[in-house]
Amino acid sequence: MQTKENLCQAIASRSVITFMYKGQPRIVEPFTLGRHKDTGNLVLRAFWIGGYSESQKTPHWRLYTVNKMYNIQITERPAAAHRIGYNSDDSHMITIYCAA
């Protein structure tokens, strides 16, 4: 799987994705993919809608490190076109590859 391209495809098609992260399932609406300004890691800004959450606060914005994500699946479930608090110019990213 070409992760960067597939995540950008999910963002462009406004599709919900599922994946495993820290050993737990996550369900999110992906919004922005880019490089973290401090670490240089590829990161995904997403709106968490289901699965495991350490904080148990739902729904909520999250920033995921892509190399910690596995079993990534693009679903046929449509993602919201807009979410309150979304900023396509994410201040945590030095480079943005794709955004909703």
Q: Report in angstroms the alpha-carbon separations of 14 from 7, 26, 28, 81.
A: 10, 17, 11, 7
CA 32/CA 4 separation, integer angstroms: 11
The whole-number pLDDT of residue 69 equals 96
Residues 39-50 pLDDT 10s:
999 999 999 999
Residues of the chain scoring pLDDT < 50: none
| Continuous H helices in the chain | 3-13
Is the pTM of the predicted complex or chain greater than 0.85? yes
DSSP-based three-state secondary structure for 7: helix
The whole-number pLDDT of residue 59 equals 64
Q: Contact at 8 Å (CB) between 30 and 10?
A: yes
The whole-number pLDDT of residue 54 equals 75
